[in-house]
Amino acid sequence: MTQAHDDLDDLFGAVAQRAPLPSDVLMARVMADAVAHQPGLVAVKRVPRAGLWDVILAALGGRGALAGLATATLAGVWIGFAQPLPVAALGLDLTGEVVQLFPDDESFFQNGTGVDGLFGTAEE
Amino acid sequence: MTMPFDTLTAASDEALLVLYANGDPVAARALADRLVPRLLRFATRMLNDATEAEDVAQEAMLRLWRIAPEWRTGEAKVSTWIWRVVANLCTDRLRKRRTVALDAGPEPEDGAPSALAGLIESDRAAALEAALTALPDRQRQAVVLRHLEGLTNPEIAEIMQIGVEAVESLTARGKRALSAMLAGRKAELGYDAEDGG
C-alpha cells in the first residue's frame, strides 16, 4: 500500500505539471469584466483655500461676533450723530439739584472742617 | 494613482483588490494573473471540461470584481473566498449534469487501451486524471486542493466549510479509491505488477 501511495504521490506531481494555462481569450474576457465593473477613481476632494475675509472672520470669532460688532458700531455712530445731553445735565433736569460729593478747595477751607463743610449743598 | 506593475506583483491579494476598487487600472491585471491560472486548473480538474472550466473561472472573477467595493478588509482571505466560489460553481454544474443525463457514467473518457499503450509518465498522469473524474465530488475537491494545488488541510476546511478531520478523511478515502482504480491498470501503466499494493 505504501508503494502504491508513493506511486500516487509521484503521479500527483506529474498531473500538476500538466496544468492547463489560461488562454489569451479567457484573460481578455476576465479583464473586460474587470474594466466594466471597476468603480471610478475616487476623486480627492480639494479643500478650498481660506481667503483673507475668512481669516478675518475667524479672528473676530465668526459671523455671530461680527453681527454684534456691527450693531455696536452703528450704535456708536448714532450716539455720535445725535449728540445726547451730558449725564450731569440729565440729572439736573430730573432733580433740580446738584450733589457735590467732592467740594473744591475753596469751599473746604471757607466752610470749616465739619461734615457740613465737606458735604454742602448748593441751591441752583 | 497607478502603481507600477512590479510593485503590484508583491502586493497581497487583498491590497490588489482594494486598489482595484479604488480605480487602479493595473491592479486587476495583477490579481487576474495571480488567480485565474489556479482557478482554471481547479475547475478543469473538477469538471473535466475546458470550456466549462473557463466559464467558471471567469464567473468567479466576475463575482470578485463585483464584490470589490464592499470588500471588508481583514475578515476573509481573498483566495479562500474565491476558491469557495469556484468550488460551489463546479458543484452546481456537476449537479446539473446529473439532472440532465442521469445515466452519464463517470467512466474515464480515455479508458481505451490504445490511450495507455505507451509506458511513459504522461500516460500515467492521464490515467490519474481520468481516475480523478471517477471520484465522488467532495473527495475529488479535497484531493485536488490538497495534492494538486498544495493547499493545507485548514485552508481546504475553510473553503469546503467542513472540519479539518473531515478533510483528512475525504483525502484519505480519495487516495485509497485512486490507488484501487489504478492498481488494476498497473501493467498497462508501466509499473511492475509485483509491486506491493
Chain centre to alpha carbon of residue B2: 32
Q: What is the mean pLDDT of residues A79-99?
A: 65
Q: What is the mean pLDDT of residues A6-17?
A: 82
Closest residue of A to B130, CA-based? A15
Say if A70 falls within a structural domain.
yes
Q: Cell for B169?
A: 478523511
Max Cα-Cα span within chain A = 140
| pLDDT band, very low/low/confident/very high, at B56 (cuts 50, 70, 90) | very high
Residue B147 CB neighbours (<10 A): 22
Q: Give B-chain residues touching A19 at CB under 8 angstroms.
A: 37, 41, 44, 148
Task: Give the least confident one: A77-91, A101-115, B93-107.
Answer: A101-115
**pLDDT of B143:** 95
Closest residue of A to B1, CA-based? A41
Domain map (residue ranges) of chain B: 1-104, 109-197
| pLDDT band, very low/low/confident/very high, at B109 (cuts 50, 70, 90) | very low
Say if A78 falls within a structural domain.
yes
As a CATH number, domain B1-104 is 1.10.1740.10
Q: What is the mean pLDDT of residues A119-123?
A: 53
Give which of B33, B55, B58 to mutate to test A binding, by max A Cβ within 10 Å. Answer: B58
Can you tell me the distance from the alpha carbon of B32 to that of A51, in angstroms, rounded to the nearest whole number? Answer: 48
Shared-domain flag, residues A71 and A101? no
CATH architecture of B109-197: Orthogonal Bundle (1.10)
- Per the CB < 8 Å rule, is A29 touching B65? no
Can you tell me the distance from the alpha carbon of A96 to that of A98, in angstroms, rounded to the nearest whole number? Answer: 7
Mean pLDDT of all residues belonging to chain B: 84
Shared-domain flag, residues A104 and A77? no
Does residue B142 have a pLDDT over 50? yes
A116 is in which domain, residue-wise?
Answer: 85-124
| pLDDT band, very low/low/confident/very high, at A103 (cuts 50, 70, 90) | low
B153-175 tens-digit pLDDT:
999 999 999 999 999 999 999 99
Per DSSP, the residues of chain B read ----HHHHHTS-HHHHHHHHHTT-TTHHHHHHHHHHHHHHHHHHHHH--HHHHHHHHHHHHHHHHHHGGG--TTTS-HHHHHHHHHHHHHHHHHHHHHHH-TT-----TT-SGGGG-S-SHHHHHHHHHHHHHHS-HHHHHHHIIIIIS---HHHHHHHHTS-HHHHHHHHHHHHHHHHHHHHTTHHHHT--TTS--
Q: What is the mean pLDDT of residues A77-104?
A: 67
- A117 or A68, higher pLDDT: A68
| pLDDT band, very low/low/confident/very high, at A68 (cuts 50, 70, 90) | confident
Complex-level ipTM: 0.80
A48/chain B closest Cα distance in angstroms: 22
CB-closest option in A2, A11, A39 to B125: A11
B2-21 tens-digit pLDDT:
666 666 777 899 999 999 99
CB-closest option in A22, A29, A39 to B23: A39
- B81 or A51, higher pLDDT: B81
- How many domains does the structure of chain A reveal? 2
Does residue B76 have a pLDDT over 90? no
Give which of B54, B64, B116, B129 to mutate to test A binding, by max A Cβ within 10 Å. Answer: B54
Q: Give A-chain residues touching B54 at CB under 8 angstroms.
A: 22-23, 26
- Per the CB < 8 Å rule, is B28 touching A40? no
| Alpha-carbon distances, residue A43 vs A39, A40, B23, B25 (angstroms) | 11, 9, 10, 15
Say if A121 falls within a structural domain.
yes
